[in-house]
A and B are shown apart, each in its own frame.
Chain A
Amino acid sequence: MAELLEVRELVKHFPVTRGVLFRRTVGRVRAVDGVSFSLRAGETLGVVGESGCGKSTLAQVLMRLEPPTSGTVLFEGEPMFSLRGAALRRWRRDMQIVLQDPYTSLNPRMTVGDIVGEPFEIHPEVAPEGSRAARVRELLDVVGLNPEHLNRYPHQFSGGQRQRIGIARALALRPKVIVCDEPVSALDVSIQAQVMNLLAELQREFGLAYVFIAHDLSVVRHLSDRVAVMYLGKIVEIGTEEQIYQHPTHPYTQALLSAVPVADPALRGRRDVIRLTGDVPSPVNPPSGCRFRTRCWKARDVCAVEEPALVTRVGAHPSACHFAEERHVVP
């Protein structure tokens, strides 16, 4: 199958500045620091990591909401960042985003019909004027909302329903890829399941590809075909859902999986527990060599000097650790 999206060595640094009148750059936040992956049509790539690992910045750059510092992204073989004019407009239809916070990502002064129909104002070729109202109703129906509610305002809906509105808006232009940035993390458990099922159904129905960004490892496993684990701006391990969860080889992935509380009291005291010490270092000043070495129990001298490449050392998938080895941590 052809790659829909091909991300190569993507870098996004933000300047850290001092002073008001004479602004000078005193450092750089290396939010995304050399990330490569590909996405096929109809597949879901999960991206997991803790706060500050760069997963949301990655989403912003993929959507061209932030220009990259360097690196390329090919969309259907075309370099995405050099698209201009009509080609850019055409591309914007193909890639859409669903955001985390269902409260701040919808304009409170617009009706639901206007929110979901707004993409057609910008891309009238997708739905001619006369057919728009019908198309909006159809979209609301597809995401499980009552089409009669199109004159209501966002505050009249619950959190889960608002997330459905955001999904309907993202679907309006019949995209090929939807970047989902923590789409269910603000929702209660019983509502989260509804929205996850909806995302899975829509993928089957419309052949969508998702870049699914989340910090909840169970949620990511449930929806993803492949998973990338990020730490301080880099992918440390990438593979199929099965490879990452059942055969993790990077110490960080293992620690992350081992820290997830599992809803089964019978497993108490019987799990392989890895406890990391300390917090994630600042992305302004990441450690030399391997960025995880300051919290890693396997670190040796070489880890401070030589940055481990993301290549396959053991098993069948790549992992950025000099001492990669499989450890079974998910019960």
Chain B
Amino acid sequence: MLLEVEDLHVEFRTRDGVARVLNGVSYHVSAGETLAVLGESGSGKSVTAQAVMGILDTPPAFVTGGSVRFRGEELLSASAQRRRAVRADGVAMIFQDALSALNPVFTVGFQIEEQLRLRRGMSRARARARAVELLDLVRIPAARQRVRDYPHQFSGGMRQRAMIAMALALDPEVLIADEPTTALDVTVQAQIMDLLAEIQRERRMGLVLITHDLGVVAEVADRIVVMYAGRIVEQADAVSLFRSPGHPYTAALMRSLPRLDSKGAALETIRGLPPSLLRIPSGCPFHPRCPRAEDVCATHVPGDVRLGAGRTSACHFAEEVVGG
């Protein structure tokens, strides 16, 4: 196991009260595996990644419990220096908005070379050569010239490629990609997802793909965890999850999606809104919106029900849901 997150709790202490953003999140990713973290805004999918990377803003965010381990080593209690080292060549991360993740006043090449010089002790010339190789790897045309460009001189798709090159510079074992293609056009999105999948295969990297897009998940994920209101409500392998979702939220999400292959009738909707994290409903957090909620759902938090190998669903009626 490369990366393990266990029972992670994070809260945001705000002026309006304490928002319980993560309420016991556990997942793991192994070498060569793609784990998709699926969820809507406010589900906690990005916050989990930020806690793993140790880049949460404290305050307002506080990790109040749980464990994050990289190759068995606890990171939450590690020194700042050790965490920096793990961020360098253990777990790297790329973000949705490449323009704000890149520094506008340095060239793309400089930003890739900087880490190679600092952490690998490379000379300027060797670092430059390696930066060109990396830009080439992510298929930036004329990499030798483009390495001297500033981020604003790149198109959106190229900036995303440059950020991937930067994340790969120190050969990380795990890459966390937070909505890496959400800001991109569909034809460019397809290019970037192909590239990520290929690099992941070749390097046997663990990939944590954070997204709200069920289509992207279906195309690349080995395993999927579905998040809602700071919890993992379901986890399963990709094929099983799409064939027979085991949680009412996952099932409803799939039915509310318009289809490419037919015009279809009215979409099924999920009533109401996701809960405020300042006031998470009692019992199952999804119960006020759930079509099959019963009394027990409002009073008892459902535990993870096992639905076969590697499959769980946090629903009192998981077996019936997965049976259809």
Binding site for B on A (CB under 8 A): 50-51, 158, 160, 188-194, 196-197, 200, 215-219, 221-222, 241-242, 245, 255-268, 275-280, 330-331
Inter-subunit contact A188/B257 (CB<8 Å): no
Asked whether any CB of chain A lies closer than 8 Å to the CB of B129, the reply is no
Contacts of B270 in A (CB 8 A): 190, 193
Asked whether any CB of chain A lies closer than 8 Å to the CB of B41, the reply is yes
Asked whether any CB of chain A lies closer than 8 Å to the CB of B16, the reply is no
Q: Per-position contact with A for B268-304: 1 when CB-CB < 8 Å, else 0?
A: 1110011000000000000000000000000000000
Nearest residue, chain A, Cβ from B219: A261
Q: Interface of chain A, helix or strand or loop or mixed?
A: helix
Inter-subunit contact A189/B256 (CB<8 Å): yes
Q: List 19 A-B contacts (CB under 8 A).
A: A193-B256, A221-B262, A222-B259, A222-B263, A245-B260, A256-B187, A259-B186, A259-B189, A263-B215, A265-B219, A266-B239, A266-B242, A266-B243, A267-B218, A268-B218, A275-B194, A276-B187, A276-B191, A331-B261
Contacts of A265 in B (CB 8 A): 218-219, 221, 238-239, 242
Contacts of A158 in B (CB 8 A): 273
Inter-subunit contact B261/A191 (CB<8 Å): no
Inter-subunit contact B242/A197 (CB<8 Å): no
A50 touches which one: B187, B218, B254 (CB < 8 A)?
B187
With both chains docked as a complex, state the minimum distance between the C-beta of A268 and any C-beta of chain B, in angstroms: 6
A236 to B185, CA, bound (A): 17
A190 touches which one: B186, B188, B256 (CB < 8 A)?
B256
Inter-subunit contact A196/B185 (CB<8 Å): no
Contacts of B156 in A (CB 8 A): 51, 279
Contacts of A277 in B (CB 8 A): 191
Inter-subunit contact B187/A197 (CB<8 Å): no
Nearest residue, chain B, Cβ from A246: B261
With both chains docked as a complex, state the minimum distance between the C-beta of A19 and any C-beta of chain B, in angstroms: 21
Question: Assuming the A-B contacts A193-B268, A196-B267, A217-B186, are A330 and B261 also in contact, with contact meaning beta carbons closer than 8 angstroms in the complex?
Answer: yes
With both chains docked as a complex, state the minimum distance between the C-beta of B242 and any C-beta of chain A, in angstroms: 5
Contacts of A259 in B (CB 8 A): 186-187, 189-190
Inter-subunit contact A275/B269 (CB<8 Å): no
Nearest residue, chain B, Cβ from A241: B263
Inter-subunit contact A50/B257 (CB<8 Å): no
Question: Assuming the A-B contacts A200-B266, A264-B242, A265-B218, are A221 and B259 also in contact, with contact meaning beta carbons closer than 8 angstroms in the complex?
Answer: yes
Inter-subunit contact A218/B257 (CB<8 Å): yes
Question: Assuming the A-B contacts A160-B273, A255-B187, A260-B215, are A197 and B266 also in contact, with contact meaning beta carbons closer than 8 angstroms in the complex?
Answer: yes
List B42-77 residues whose CB lies under 8 Å from chain A: none
